[in-house]
Structure 1
Amino acid sequence: MSYLTSAVLGTALLCFALLGLRARRADGPLDDYVTARNSQSASTLGLSFLASGMGAWILFAPPEIGAFVGPVALAGYAIGSALPFIVLGLYGPAIRRYLPEGRSIGEFAEACYGAGVRRWVSLISILYMACFLAAELTAIGAITALLSDVPPGLVVIGVAVTTLLYTAIGGLRASLATDRWQAWLLIALLLVVGGVALVRLPEMPVQAALPAIPVGSALGVALTLIIAVTAANLFHQGYWQRVWAARDERALNRGAWLGGAATVAVVALVGGLGMLAAMSDVSLGEPPIPFFALLVEAPGWLALPALVLAVTLVASSVDTLQNGIASLAVAGSGRRGLSIGAARLVTVVLMVPVVIVALQGLSVLRLFLIADLLCAAIVVPVLLGLWQRMTPLAAVAGGVGGMLGAILPGWVMYGSATAGVLAASFPDSIPTLPPFLGALVASTLVSLMIAWLKPSAMPRTV
């Protein structure tokens, strides 16, 4: 069985590589390599937002939220997963007009506030995407061990090398081309795997009920997820690349709404499976993994398409992250004459530590939460960059205020700054609302106050 599984996974990865390499523009300039400027339709962008935003995380987090917290929190997760696309769809046209030759969130920050803020924003973005990459590759190793006899390390390296091959050679166009096919493939496989698993579910007990969690607590979890996921994903350079890749403003707006709607549907579907598993009294495992618990009652052959689904999910997000990190590093150099060869080298070099971390099989959830909180502390000051009154001082002060706001709830609750810092580092790897809400509110208030008291003297044209 392991030989068949290896052959099927190898074939899937080979197809992704061929699709990506066919889309490359061999003689294109560096700008086309990292932005594919003004070339993509609304439908392509919609599918790309869906595929690049999905990852193996949807097989773990939404089902667990659905099973243990219920539909309200699941709705918050679905909205939070889609909201970054909607924000960029609405805000992106103004960004394109303000920075028509832009390539990254770092360049946007520099145009608004200067090089110092750019370096800060770029660092947070790279940190977040590196955590995302390590988490995705770690997850595919764990899923491989769960569903097959194939060595997990082999699949981790296979996904990393294959996606690296076509993204390093083909750039953003390669990622966009594979996204289209990966989006349709993951939808089809999800319907097959989820449909068969549902058919084989045990009969629902008469006393079956939704998770017994107070509505207030469920709303708190939902709001936490909306803030954390939205703030973090607005620092996903892969999404920012698509702002300039869009054929025009209308294509960007429509593509963002299409990708957002599809993302809400997919997250709700997968999370709903976890909810049904819990209500059917299926053993969810230890630690609980509701989606994979469904496969225990399903036919044995379903493990193979489930594994292909996982590989597709991981490849679709990893190739976007690889290209995003490389483009951010290139744009962050401040040298528009940097060669494509250097950009490719950056892509390869940055993947080495990520793969090493992924092969350790460590949990990166706490790192993810810390990176999410850093993003939440500075996202509003960055997005306020197009406001006429904003200044570098207001942006930096807002970011510092956001970080202080993150530790303030724990400081007040436990009586010391040290305890506040510890609470904001999520020692139990559980997302809690106070640090995120404190970061968001404080950064917003401080930015607005300083911008109002000391507005920019330089007019801006949007």
Structure 2
Amino acid sequence: MIGMPQAAVGAALLLFLWVGLRARTADTSLDAYLTARGSQSATTLALSFLASGLGAWILFVPPEIAAFVGPVALAGYAIGAALPFLVLAWCGPAIRRWLPAGRSLTDLAAERFGPAMRGWVLALSLLYMLCFLTAELTAVGGIVALLTGGDGRWAVLAVAGVTLLYTAWGGLRASLATDRWQAWLLLALLALVAAVIGTAPAPAEAVQPSAPASAPLSVGLSVALTLIIAVTAANLFHQGYWQRVWAAQDTRALHRGAWWGALGSAAAIVLVGALGLLAARQGLPLGTPPVPFFALVQHAPDWVVAPVLVLAVALVASSVDTLQNGIAALLVTQRQGASLAAARWATVLLMVPVIAVAWQGLSVLRLFLVADLLCATAVVPLLLALWPRVPRGAAVAGSLAGLLGAIAPGAWESGSLWQGVVAATFPNNVPTLAPFAGALLASTAVSLLWTWLRPAQR
């Protein structure tokens, strides 16, 4: 029998499908499918950045970080989530002027630094976005199983199938249209759920804090800086965000949309993270692995399960449809003369292995962290494309130096190059500052040194 939570989830997915299918326009060109070029207002972009930037991960990671490390680390996470949009606000207009017919970040890499850098950026973007996509679908299955006690795999298929239908049909415009609805729904449900579970009385037997919620300041600062580097670097390789650079009506719409998207994302993370602090201080059993947000949900009124499930599904759908369209755009734009049919087939086919992994409920956290670190090795060299003095070889040299910089701290500490490589793969599934800082500093230093020694001719 279908209960109220499942019915609410089904209704939400049908709404998203209806909105997405209606978004298709008479312009069925490949460019319109991939970029919706010059069509989106600041408000639409702000809501889209908010909806596509948030995912089911905000119900897990910020509350856990807040509960076990404290407010400083939570602030670092919020800053890391907001910074990519601020970078888009800063460099997006310049990239629009440089590449008015551009479609992806790889176009910038190819134009400034050649095919080698283009291939590396393509690999990093695909790795990061496929990990993100798999993690989101895995998360929605886990959330449904946790809250309903049933098999959550039906939610994996439902969300993947519905988003695939409207993104394959309507392209980027479908994703942007659903983002508007999903963003308002997310904001409303976040406010409702936070108010209900945040004011629910703590159980009488919980008298001692169940997590520290206040690590030493040095630990909090280290975690905050790690998160800022990791989250910012990785999200700057998210093709879905770069598509919206060219979708903006003009540079003013892009600038305002990115700023409001950044502020909204940071506020949402702080709000959800604060619930993790509350769960720890109320002494609730946080579970293994710890899930402070859901510990609060389990002690709230029963009716709150339905809005939490709809919130989770909206979070996943809003990020998944952006990722589906973004990955398809990356793959299709690598070939000259690609067709609209090829873009649609790419959207469909890429989901087969993703659904297969998400169906198994496997954790992709370690692979996610490695993808974040690899992105940190190349983010500064790539953004230096906007400086005309930087020569073609500087970005490749900087990226290679970033790889060595990621390995160097572990190798220095252990005295073994191999152990340095192992440390940079995060065997304990815990991000640490040294590899990220090493990658960022080495890639920046070598790129700038190369530019100083061999500046590009103007």
Same fold (TM over 0.5): yes
Displacement of 1:26 in angstroms is 4.0
- TM-score (norm. length: structure 1): 0.96
Q: Which residue does the alignment assign to 2:267?
A: 265
Partner amino acid for 2:113? Answer: Y
Q: Which residue does the alignment assign to 2:397?
A: 397
Q: Which residue does the alignment assign to 1:100?
A: 100
Deviations 1:220-254 (A, max 9, x none): 00000000000000000000001100110010000
Deviations 1:63-84 (A, max 9, x none): 0011010100000000001110
For residue 214 of structure 2, the aligned residue among 204, 212, 215 is 212
Q: Which residue does the alignment assign to 2:179?
A: 179
Displacement of 1:389 in angstroms is 1.8
For residue 297 of structure 1, the aligned residue among 296, 299, 313 is 299
Deviations 1:328-373 (A, max 9, x none): 111122x1x3211110000111111011011111111100100000
Q: Which residue does the alignment assign to 1:196?
A: 196
2:389 match: secondary structure: coil
Question: Which deviates further from its counterpart, 199-208 or 9-18?
Answer: 199-208
Displacement of 1:119 in angstroms is 1.5
2:201 match: secondary structure: coil
CA contact (8 A) 1:201 1:280 kept: no
Report the Cα distance in structure 1 between the residues aligned to 2:413 and 2:26, rounded to whole angstroms. 58
CA contact (8 A) 1:24 1:173 kept: yes
Deviations 1:185-232 (A, max 9, x none): 011111111111112132899987972311011000000000000000
Q: Which residue does the alignment assign to 2:288?
A: 286
Q: Which residue does the alignment assign to 2:27?
A: 27
Identity of aligned residues (%): 62
Report the Cα distance in structure 2 between the residues aligned to 1:240 and 1:369, rounded to whole angstroms. 22
Partner amino acid for 1:293? Answer: A
CA contact (8 A) 1:2 1:149 kept: no
Displacement of 1:6 in angstroms is 2.9
Superposed, 1:147-162 pairs within 5 Å as: 147-162=147-162
Q: Which residue does the alignment assign to 1:423?
A: 423
Q: Which residue does the alignment assign to 1:331?
A: 333
Please say if 1:55 is aligned against 2:55: yes
Superposed, 1:116-155 pairs within 5 Å as: 116-155=116-155
Q: Which residue does the alignment assign to 2:68?
A: 68
Q: Which residue does the alignment assign to 2:235?
A: 233
Report the Cα distance in structure 2 between the residues aligned to 1:98 and 1:116, rounded to whole angstroms. 20
Deviations 1:138-193 (A, max 9, x none): 00010010011442111101100100000011000000000011001011111111
CA contact (8 A) 1:6 1:150 kept: no
1:430 match: secondary structure: coil
Q: Which residue does the alignment assign to 1:40?
A: 40
Partner amino acid for 1:247? Answer: Q
CA contact (8 A) 1:2 1:150 kept: no
Report the Cα distance in structure 2 between the residues aligned to 1:3 and 1:280, rounded to whole angstroms. 31
Q: Which residue does the alignment assign to 1:84?
A: 84
Report the Cα distance in structure 2 between the residues aligned to 1:445 and 1:166, rounded to whole angstroms. 44
Please say if 1:12 is aligned against 2:18: no
CA contact (8 A) 1:77 1:225 kept: yes
Residues 206 and 138 (structure 1), Cα distance of their counterparts in 2 relative to 1, 3 Å cut:
closer
Unaligned runs of 5+ in 2: none
Please say if 1:348 is aligned against 2:338: no
For residue 322 of structure 1, the aligned residue among 321, 324, 332 is 324
Report the Cα distance in structure 2 between the residues aligned to 1:203 and 1:357, rounded to whole angstroms. 38
Q: Which residue does the alignment assign to 1:448?
A: 448
How many residue pairs get matched?
Answer: 456
Residues 284 and 449 (structure 1), Cα distance of their counterparts in 2 relative to 1, 3 Å cut:
same
Report the Cα distance in structure 2 between the residues aligned to 1:150 and 1:310, rounded to whole angstroms. 16
CA contact (8 A) 2:203 2:299 kept: no
Deviations 1:364-403 (A, max 9, x none): 1100100000000000000001211212211111000000
